[in-house]
Structure 1
Amino acid sequence: MSVVALLKQFIVAGIGTEIGKTIASAVLVEALQADYWKPVQSGALEDSDTETVRRLISNHKSRFHLEAYRLTQPLSPHAAAEIDGVTIELEKLVLPQTDNALVVELAGGLMVPLNDEDLNIDLVQRLDLPVVLVSRNYLGSINHTLLSVEACRSRNIPLLGILFNGPTVPASERVILNYTGLPCIGRIGQENKIDRETVQRYADLLRLQTM
């Protein structure tokens, strides 16, 4: 069975910042012709992640749902919210209503704080959706990936698999997949330019990939 056929509504989480969650989300949105929602946007309001994904997809089925919080500063959500004089409340982060597949992209890694009490991983639990974990190969990425997997498993959060983004390092990927027992959802290589054609190419590969 195709990997895509197994995906319906899920959360895209990264092992840290600048991992490539938004590009991975765009590929998944295009592959599934899914809707997209980023609950919290910190900074870059004129060129938000929602607008980036919208710009990168080609299909006409996907809908883009408004962020619950649009924060002006490119900081951790809790810090950006404090500057803007607001408090992020988990109760206000409600999944948009849709009959379509849905890709939900977190703001930062799983342990990023949203307020003085709640982390992203608390939001994941509240939304009650499985996770696609985006990993990027760099020195320390094995540790960060395994810690992210352990954090999810310690809270009984289901993991659909790992999507690798950026330069391929087979030795690192092999250790991660062997140790976690998770499937590889796909791989997005190091690209000099990311545009609609690039996203479409990876979306097509994802549709063809089998478990």
Structure 2
Amino acid sequence: MKFFITGSDTDVGKSFVTASLLRAFLEQGAKAVALKPVQTGYAENSRIPDENSRIPNENSRIPNENSRIPNENSRIPKAKSRIPNQSLEPDFKEYIKAGQNADFKATCYTFAYPASPHFSAELEGKKIKARGILDFIEQNLAQITLIEGAGGILVPLNENQSFLDIAKELNAPVILVCKNCLGAINHTLLNLEILRQNSIKLAALILNFHDENDAICLSNQQFLQKKLSCPIITLKNYKNNENYSNSAKDFRAFISKFLDKK
């Protein structure tokens, strides 16, 4: 079975959710893999060494002196930059922490500049093709396949295609990740309308960074529970969550119904 994980915005915790789900499926004995077909802000595509990387990257290209990748005022950290190096850590390293084989190739397109995929690819003189992503996914299917997008469902891959085209072609249930804060209701409902218009099933809504002592968090949860028929899973900002073992527990009830079918 396939799941497509997308977010209501960037930096809402899609990789955290994907890795937690992966860990939950693996703990239950499922043959599960997580894929991140497009990764931007990847150190091996820049001049910045990534000594801890264990992922081989056959498609990487080190920018030369004539590269169009921005240097001045760039989001790519340099030696004296205040931007932490973690901003160039690929999201699929989190899958390894959750238990995925370090030698597994979890991505097919990687780019140095941490931005929208279409822009990052353009800076390197490359182009992302939806067909290439779909072929990559097809070649790496498992009993449970988790496919993480980059940003939100309408993030462009090129001039004409976005992750919405990937989700539609996959015909896979979507897991929508939203940061539970002021604005979460609007962000969630806008995404649900896009999914509805394109006949895409919502498997679950994840309200990330949930705070049970925050009135807005609780109000968002209660309002959306009245609107949605799918499971709504709240995740707090976990500490001491080594290998995602703690956050995986929050997904046990959700994943059990899919494993029962296997």
CA contact (8 A) 1:10 1:104 kept: yes
Name the SS of the counterpart of 2:146 in structure 1.
Answer: strand
- Is 1:65 the equivalent of 2:105? yes
Distance 2:103 2:223 in 1: 37
The corresponding residue for 1:175 is 223
When normalised by structure 2's length, the TM-score is: 0.70
The corresponding residue for 1:75 is 115
CA contact (8 A) 1:167 1:190 kept: yes
- Give the superposed CA RMSD: 2.1
2:172 to 101, 105, 129: 129
Point out where structure 1 has 5 or more consecutive residues left out of the alignment.
1-7
The corresponding residue for 1:16 is 9
Quick one: percent identity of the two aligned structures?
A: 28
Alignment of structure 1 residues 111-190 onto 2, 5 Å: 111-168=154-211, 169-184=217-232, 186-190=233-237
1:89 to 101, 105, 129: 129
1:53 to 61, 83, 95: 95
- 4+ residue runs over 6 A deviation: none
The corresponding residue for 1:39 is 37
Distance 2:3 2:125 in 1: 30
Give the strand-richer structure, 1 or 2. Answer: 1
**Aligned length, in residue pairs:** 199
Q: Which stretch of structure 1 is more off in the superposition, 173-182 or 153-162?
A: 173-182
When normalised by structure 1's length, the TM-score is: 0.86
CA contact (8 A) 1:146 1:180 kept: no
Shift of 1:141: 1.4
Amino acid aligned to 2:252: R
- 1:59–1:121 distance in 2 versus 1, CA, 3 Å: closer
Name the SS of the counterpart of 2:150 in structure 1.
Answer: strand
Larger radius of gyration: 2
Point out where structure 2 has 5 or more consecutive residues left out of the alignment.
27-31, 44-49, 51-88, 212-216, 258-262
Amino acid aligned to 2:15: T
